[in-house]
Amino acid sequence: MSWWLVIWLSVGAYLLKVVGVVVLGGRTLPVVINRCLALIPAALLAALIMKDTLTSGQDLVIDARVVGVAVATFATMRRLPLTAVLILGVGSTALVRAVAGVI
Amino acid sequence: MSRQLVPQDMRDVVRASVVIGIASGIYAISFGVLSVSAGASVLQTCLFSLLVFTGASQFSAVSVISAGGSVASAVSGGLLLAARNGVYGLALSPSIKGSLAKRMFAAQFVIDETTAMTSAAPDQRSKDWAFWSCAVMLFTCWNIGTLIGALAGSSIDPKSFGLDAAFPVVFVAMVAPHLTTRSGRRAAAIGATVTIALTPFLPIGLPILLSAVGVFVGLLPHEDAPVSATSEASP
């Protein structure tokens, strides 16, 4: 594999990370901006859950991951600790895959 | 603030970091396997995890290469996914205090998990603990996992262990504290809808970035307090 891939991806990824932290870094912002920034994790985590559960590349798919995430959602609503949520979610995905074959 | 992921004390923060670290270490094994089978050397695979250190971009770049794509398309796809770390940096910048050198060092660890942990912490002291304990655990486990996967090569099938569900499962637990307010629920609903609606039509990585439009819910007149930004105003 080309070393250029390693180099460009490393440099680019770092520059993207540093720009947000250093540009604003520690300044006091207007309340409305803070309110929007505080919503970033909600919007992006929800988006990541959808991407990691229901997509494969550019395709929308339904497979064993849906069961794992549903089980994890239930476990989270029951206020189980993170370790239990992880084990139940990953375990149920593996179980469904083993029982149902290649999905 | 009653969800268990909002830390009651520093011990809870560290415990959550350990669990997240182990989850990502398991996921990193599958990265190591995929990277080596896409033609990268063990050294290149480990450098990806040490230097790029943002999982989704690494997976995306390696999958483009293994599908026969060019370096340019692998890099641009990876960076599109990494762009959200810039948005995270904006969200975390009020919480990451200190000299320019310290903030530039901290920037390397601004990714999904550290952002979720830090933004869920109620005050500056626990934000510091959340960020750095999560950063240390993630970085350590992510790189050890990568090495194990790279050495194991193609003798492991991560999917048969359900490991591809590890990230969404952890994200479910992480997003829960952000859904206790109405604006948080609205932002999450918009983010989720945008991603699903746009995925078939846009390059990989772009829908996630565009899901950030959900934050404009914060511009609306609001009835509930923001999840974590209030503590920022009074250092």
Token reading at A38: 């505080």
What secondary structure letter does DSSP report for B52?
I
**By the 8 A CB rule, do B167 and B116 touch?**
no
From B179's Cα to the closest Cα of chain A, the distance in A is 7
Residue in chain B nearest A5 by alpha carbon: B71
Model confidence pLDDT, tens digit, residues A42-77: 888 899 899 889 998 889 999 999 999 999 999 999
**Is residue A78 a part of any domain in this protein?**
yes
Q: How many residues in chain A?
A: 103
- Residue A12 has a pLDDT of 96
CA distance B57 to B52: 8
- Residue A53 has a pLDDT of 93
pLDDT band at A103 (very low <50, low <70, confident <90, very high): low
Model confidence pLDDT, tens digit, residues B6-60: 446 788 888 889 988 988 888 888 789 888 888 899 999 999 999 999 987 898 7
Interface contact flag, A93 B20, Cβ < 8 Å: no
Kindly give the residue spans of alpha helices, DSSP state H, lying in chain B. 10-37, 42-47, 55-66, 71-92, 100-107, 112-120, 124-152, 166-175, 182-198, 206-210
Interface contact flag, B85 A32, Cβ < 8 Å: no
Model confidence pLDDT, tens digit, residues B102-148: 999 999 999 988 998 998 888 888 899 999 999 999 999 999 999 99
Residue in chain B nearest A18 by alpha carbon: B107
CB atoms closer than 10 angstroms to residue A25: 23
State the best of A32, A36, A39, A53 to mutate against chain B, taking most chain B CBs within 10 Å. A39
Residues near B151 by beta carbon (within 8 Å), at least 6 away in sequence = B32, B42
3-class DSSP string for chain A? CCHHHHHHHHHHHHHHHHHHHHHHCCCCCCHHHHHHHCCHHHHHHHHHHHHHHHEECCEECCCHHHHHHHHHHHHHHCCCCHHHHHHHHHHHHHHHHHHHCCC
pLDDT band at B223 (very low <50, low <70, confident <90, very high): low
State the best of A15, A16, A69 to mutate against chain B, taking most chain B CBs within 10 Å. A16
Residues of B in contact with A42 (CB under 8 A): 175, 178-179, 184-185, 187-188, 191, 214, 227
Residues near B176 by beta carbon (within 8 Å), at least 6 away in sequence = A76, B3, B5
C-alpha to C-alpha distances, B105 to A14, A22, B24, B97, B119, nearest whole angstrom: 10, 10, 21, 12, 19
pLDDT band at B96 (very low <50, low <70, confident <90, very high): confident
**Is residue A9 a part of any domain in this protein?**
no
Interface contact flag, B110 A94, Cβ < 8 Å: no
**Is residue A60 a part of any domain in this protein?**
yes
- Residue B222 has a pLDDT of 63
Name the one residue in this structure whose structure tokens are 């033609």: B39
- Residue B41 has a pLDDT of 93
- Residue B234 has a pLDDT of 33
**Is residue A90 a part of any domain in this protein?**
yes
- Residue B73 has a pLDDT of 80
CA distance A47 to A50: 5
**By the 8 A CB rule, do B200 and A58 touch?**
yes
CA distance B50 to B124: 28
Name the one residue in this structure whose structure tokens are 């932290």: A21
- Residue B121 has a pLDDT of 86
Average pLDDT over residues B78-94: 85
**Is residue A42 a part of any domain in this protein?**
yes
CB atoms closer than 10 angstroms to residue B48: 31
Model confidence pLDDT, tens digit, residues B156-203: 777 888 877 877 887 898 789 889 999 999 999 999 999 999 999 988
* Residue A90 confidence (pLDDT) above 80: yes
- Residue B120 has a pLDDT of 84
Average pLDDT over residues B65-86: 82
**Is residue A91 a part of any domain in this protein?**
yes
Residue in chain A nearest B188 by alpha carbon: A43
State the best of B15, B31, B172 to mutate against chain A, taking most chain A CBs within 10 Å. B172
What's the complex ipTM? Answer: 0.85
CA distance B87 to B111: 10
Closest by CA to A16, choosing from B93, B56, B87, B136, is B87
Range of the domain at A63: 29-100
- Residue A14 has a pLDDT of 96
CB atoms closer than 10 angstroms to residue B69: 14
Q: Rg of the Cα trace of chain A?
A: 19
- Residue B33 has a pLDDT of 84
Interface contact flag, A47 B192, Cβ < 8 Å: yes
Interface contact flag, B172 A1, Cβ < 8 Å: no
Interface contact flag, A4 B167, Cβ < 8 Å: no
CA dihedral B97→B98→B99→B101, nearest 10 degrees, is -70
End-to-end CA distance of chain A: give it in Å, rounded.
Answer: 30
Domains in chain A, number: 1
Residue in chain B nearest A58 by alpha carbon: B200
